[in-house]
Structure formats: structure tokens, C-alpha cells
Amino acid sequence: MGVHVLEFPEVGEEARGSGSPRVSHFAGWPPLLARIALAALALLLAASALVQIAKSGTRSPWEGPVEVSSPAAPGSIAKPYDQDIALYEAAIARIRKGENYYDFIVPEHRAWKYPVKPQFAVRLPTLAYLDARLGAPGQIGAALALMFGIIIAWWRRFGDEGISYVRRAMATAVVSVAASLAVNRHYFPLHELWAGGLIALSFGLHRIGRNGEGGRWLGAFCAAALALAIRELTLPFVLLMLATALWYRNRKEALAWTMLVALFACAMAVHISLIERQVLPSDPHSAPWLVMRGLSGWLGNVSQASNLRWLPHFLAGPAVVLMTFGWLGFRGRTGTFGFLLSAGYGVAFMLAGRWDNFYWGAMIAPAMFAGIAFAPCALAQLVAAARLPIGASAPTAN
């Protein structure tokens, strides 16, 4: 009996539909390279089930409440939040009383023993003003609108991409799990929660064109602009949008993203100058963010800042890896963008961020969750590229 090679067919409807190139990301790979990639993926999955993803002996806002109130303005807040959430809630309470954000935010940071050096350690005022104006009912309404907006946007996008109904439903269900965290009102003061949801909405609304044709980006642009105004950690997403527009020669879109980056740079310069006026020589500098936690930083941030935190360690870690790798099973430009976005933030988290910055993972978790629905496709395509021989009389998939 001869040795046969197991071949994989086109998976679902992903090979048809939207007009985007539907070629496998692994098409044209030499078998040796594909086999090396398979081995690397296996090692990464094994490591992700074993490495530390949470610092023992510490607690976070996601683990349960403690009773606190603002040291700078006693009585302004008496809700069961952790200290960092309480700081932002205190700022919201003072804005509701008519105070100007830049008049109190530096003293408030000092009172909570939060650093004001470097100046960008102090958050932009956008979310505090929005939360103050909306009030509790408005925040709940906005959170619900954002959650359902993300789900609807991705349901439509999967349909436009020609995804089969079953896989479309599976992927949308995963998106729903990711987006549902946004409706927990205890986390409303967290900037990353809103910015991450808006990134997911922007990604879902965006349609990548070529030479200015076939693309839709205005809704995605508005969502990303608001996310950037809330949290500067949105900038990598905006830069990837800009790079994508340039790559596909969408000139108007590229110009819009360029102008957004320039406007953001001006706004940050003003923000930093307003904070700098109140900084004292005695103010301590923030602990370094460039701590290079490696795999623990990536897996820990995403798993702890999402609904993956309910899974055991040995499942949560591999899930993050499969979410990232899975985008390569989504053929065409969307899959490429999703992989670069997820992997790019993953590399950033491996290099930067302390254990107490785990909530940065909320910036990317809602946008990357759908990748796991396409992980089986990605694995099948990689195995096909590797052309792995199996035992005698092995059947051919059909």
C-alpha cells in the first residue's frame, strides 16, 4: 500500500462571496515551512497552558468590590469599587458638580497616590465628561447600544464576506460573548472597556476596498475616532487602518486616518501641557511600563480583561492563541487585518505593561474573539500546506 497525503477541501462558504481574494493564507507555502509553523503552533499552545497569566496575591476590579471613597473630595463617592475605578468615578462626580477636569485631576491623582509623571499617565478627559453627562441611565443605554452595535455589525460583515450560515452564527455568538462585558455597569468608568468595544465596532463596520472602490469606512472612522479620544492605546489600531488604506491605495481613506492621527497628536500635546503646569518636582514618577513579561503579558492581559477569566488557566491561555491564529483561517483581506491586529497588540503586551495593567487587554479582546471560530479552518489550511503523509490507506477528505 502506498502512502497518501491527506488533503483538505475549501472550508464552508469562505471561498466565495465578497469579492475579496479568497486564497488560503498558506497557499504557496513550501511543505517544510508549513511543518515548522505547525510545530511552533503546537509548542505555543502547550506553553500557553502552562505559563503564569495572573500575579498571585493581587486583586483587581474584576475580582470583586471593596468599599472606598475619594480622599480629595470625601463623600463624593461611596460605591463598592476598587481604587483605580474609584479614581475615575471620583472625577465623574466632580464634573457633575460643575468642576473643570484639569482643575482637579492632578490633586485627585496625588490623593489616590497615582502618578502624574509622565503626564500621559493622567487619562484624557473624554470619558469622564461623557459619563458625567450621560448619568447612570445613559451609560447603561450607551453600553447596550455598543454591545448590540458590535453584534449586528459583525453579523452583517460575516454575511458580506460570504461566510456559511452555520459558521456565521458561531462566529457571531463568540463576538456576543466578547461584547457582553461592556454592559457590566461596575466597569463603566474604565476607559479600556469603551475604547475596546469601539475598536471592535470599527473593525466590524469597515470594508476594505482597493483603489477607493468597494470599501466603506466612514462609520468605522467615527467609531475609531471616539475610541482614540477616550484612550490613546487605540493608536495602534488607527495606524493599522492607515497602513491598510495606503497598502490598498485608498487615498481618501488614508488621508482621513492621517488627519485623525495629526489631530490626536495635537490634542495629546495640549493635554500634556495642561497637566504639566500642575506637576511638582516632588511628584513621583510612574513605575516603568516596559517590563517585558513575554507570553504571560499577552495571555494574562487578554484572558483577565475578558470573559475568558471564567475559564481555567489551561484553557484560557490556548484560547487566546487560537483566537489570534484563527484569523488566518478567514480568507482574504479581513483575515489578514484581524491577524495583524490581534498579533500586534499581543506583541505589545509581551513588551509593555505591568501585572496591574492587565485591563489593557480589554482594548483588543472584543475585536479578536471571533478568530477562534475560524481556527479549525486555519489549522486545516496549514496542515494541507504541510502535506503531512499519514499511514497506509489513509482516506482523502472530501
The 10s digit of each residue's pLDDT in 191-236 is 999 999 999 999 999 999 888 787 899 999 999 999 999 999 999 9
Peptide bond just before 376 cis, omega within 30 deg:
no
Span 162-201, pLDDT tens digits = 898 999 999 999 999 999 988 988 889 999 999 999 999 9
CA 11 vs CA 16, 21, 108, 222: distances in Å: 10, 15, 55, 34
d(CA 27, CA 256): 34
**pLDDT score at 393:** 34
Res. 377 pLDDT band, cuts 50 70 90 = very high
- Residue-level length of the chain: 398
Q: What is the mean pLDDT of residues 365-393?
A: 84
d(CA 212, CA 250): 4
- pTM equals 0.87
State the alpha helices, DSSP H only, in the chain: 31-48, 83-96, 101-111, 126-160, 165-179, 191-205, 218-230, 235-247, 251-276, 295-304, 313-326, 333-351, 365-368, 375-386
Res. 15 pLDDT band, cuts 50 70 90 = very low
- Range from 44-53, 61-70, 99-108, 339-348 carrying the lowest mean pLDDT: 61-70
Q: What is the mean pLDDT of residues 97-125?
A: 92
Please give the mean pLDDT across all residues of the chain.
Answer: 86
**pLDDT score at 287:** 86
pLDDT greater at residue 284 or residue 393: 284
**pLDDT score at 77:** 45
pLDDT at 148 over 90: yes
DSSP string, 179-205: HGGGG-GGGTT-HHHHHHHHHHHHHHH
Residue 368 phi/psi, 5-degree rounding, is: -100, -15
For 384-393, give one letter per residue: b (16+ CB within 10 A) or e. bbbeeeeeee
d(CA 102, CA 124): 10
pLDDT at 83 over 50: yes
**pLDDT score at 2:** 39
Res. 50 pLDDT band, cuts 50 70 90 = very high
- Can you say whether residue 209 is alpha, beta or left, with left for phi > 0 and alpha for psi between -120 and 50 degrees? beta
Res. 72 pLDDT band, cuts 50 70 90 = low
Res. 59 pLDDT band, cuts 50 70 90 = very low
**pLDDT score at 28:** 86
Q: Cell numbers of 8, please?
A: 483538505
Q: Cell numbers of 306, please?
A: 475578558
**pLDDT score at 70:** 52
Residue 111 phi/psi, 5-degree rounding, is: -60, -35
Res. 119 pLDDT band, cuts 50 70 90 = confident
